[in-house]
Amino acid sequence: MPATPLTAEERIAFLAARPDWAAQGEVLVRTIAFADFAEAMGFVTRVALAAQAADHHPEIDIRWNRVTVRLSTHSAAALTDLDVALATQIDAFLG
């Protein structure tokens, strides 16, 4: 199923509901700090498995206990429902 670009209203609603995420152009970005490297890597593994299952792969930057996730749908050149779905799943991993 092709990705559906977000409307301006959907983008605003997502960001209002999830203030830990920021929009940088057509990219959703979130940085999470963990207790240590092992906890950060456990989180990255969960994100990797979810991304593989969704066939939607984020950019992930790991700096010891800090993980930055960047979501965008390059093929659509826009934020899409795929980005929102994976961001929502990522938030659920964090409790």
Q: What angle do CA 43, 25, 44 make, to 5 degrees?
A: 10
Query: Global pTM?
Result: 0.94
pLDDT, tens digit, 9 for 90 and up, residues 33-90: 999 999 999 999 999 999 999 999 999 999 999 999 999 998 888 999 999 999 999 9
pLDDT attached to residue 1: 59
27 pLDDT higher than 90: yes
CATH T-level fold of 8-93: Gyrase A; domain 2 (3.30.1360)
Local structure of 45: helix, strand or coil: helix
Whole-angstrom distance, CA of residue 49 vs CA of residue 68: 16
